[in-house]
């Protein structure tokens, strides 16, 4: 049996590239060799968990989503409330991921002119204090409320509550070793959202995703969700 490509010592958990990450050393308690659910049984259980959590938490997210819809519509009455973007999911399948509108109407047209401000390696794109983000949009992003519409993606089975974040760039952008993150359904949150956040580049995020995939189980998903909520209340948001 192959051993996982992560190992732990006093420096933390070793990632695929040989570096160590102390911040996620806690996931080692979820021993891949001791999983109760594997293969299709785990996939089915995870889907049931996603739907149960979506239903039980609707008393929280449904009112927040309704209020946000009214606020976004008030800011730009002539615009659509939701923004959708093609993302890459499991197996490289492309799907439309939903968000609340947080940018000015001509945001896509302004992107080329702002390319020099990109702090991440292309094809990633992120600008500190992005001038395209609206006043309401800044609040929605800070609190991660802009991500709430992805609950519809979870209901449709395109996403899960926990997993690698789906990328906006196509699967042919990936190198062979990077395609491991496409073996699972992408998530609303994951290890990146509770550790490196928006500061890491694609390679660093990908190494975190692979570490998650190697240790994934329902208890790990539950802990990541709790840690995500804590991160939001600490003002970090979910990027």
Name the domain count of the chain: 1
Per-residue pLDDT at 197 exceeds 60: no
Q: Give a yes or no: residue 238 inside a domain.
A: no
Residue 106 banded pLDDT, cuts 50, 70, 90? confident
Range of the domain at 95: 37-231
Q: Give a yes or no: residue 3 inside a domain.
A: no
In sequence order, the 6+-apart residues with CB closer than 8 A to the CB of 89 are: 95, 158, 159, 166, 182, 185, 186
Q: Give a yes or no: residue 26 inside a domain.
A: no
Task: Give tens-digit pLDDT for 124-176.
Answer: 667 777 888 888 998 998 888 999 999 999 999 999 999 999 988 888 888 88
Q: Give a yes or no: residue 31 inside a domain.
A: no
Q: Give a yes or no: residue 61 inside a domain.
A: yes
Burial of 112 (0-12, 13-18, 19+ CB in 10 A): exposed
């Amino acid at each position: 049996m192959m051993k996982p490509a992560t190992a732990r010592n006093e420096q933390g958990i070793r990632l695929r590239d040989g570096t160590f990450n102390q911040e996620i050393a806690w996931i080692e308690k979820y021993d891949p060799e001791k999983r109760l659910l594997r293969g299709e049984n785990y996939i089915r259980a995870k889907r049931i968990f996603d739907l149960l959590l979506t239903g039980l938490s609707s008393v929280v997210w449904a009112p927040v989503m309704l209020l946000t819809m009214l606020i976004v519509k008030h800011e730009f009455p002539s615009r659509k409330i939701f923004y959708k973007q093609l993302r890459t999911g499991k197996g490289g399948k492309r799907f439309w991921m939903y968000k609340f509108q947080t940018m000015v109407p001509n945001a896509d047209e302004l992107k080329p002119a702002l390319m020099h401000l990109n702090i991440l390696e292309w094809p990633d794109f992120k600008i500190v204090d992005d001038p395209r983000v609206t006043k309401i949009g800044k609040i929605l992003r800070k609190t991660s409320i802009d991500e709430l519409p992805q609950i519809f993606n979870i209901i449709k089975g395109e996403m899960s509550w926990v997993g690698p974040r789906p990328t906006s760039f196509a699967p042919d952008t990936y190198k062979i070793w990077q395609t491991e993150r496409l073996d699972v359904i992408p998530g609303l949150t994951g290890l990146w959202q509770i550790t490196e956040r928006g500061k890491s580049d694609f390679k660093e995020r990908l190494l975190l995703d692979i570490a998650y995939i190697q240790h994934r189980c329902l208890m790990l998903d539950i802990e990541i969700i709790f840690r995500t909520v804590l991160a939001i209340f600490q003002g970090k948001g979910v990027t």
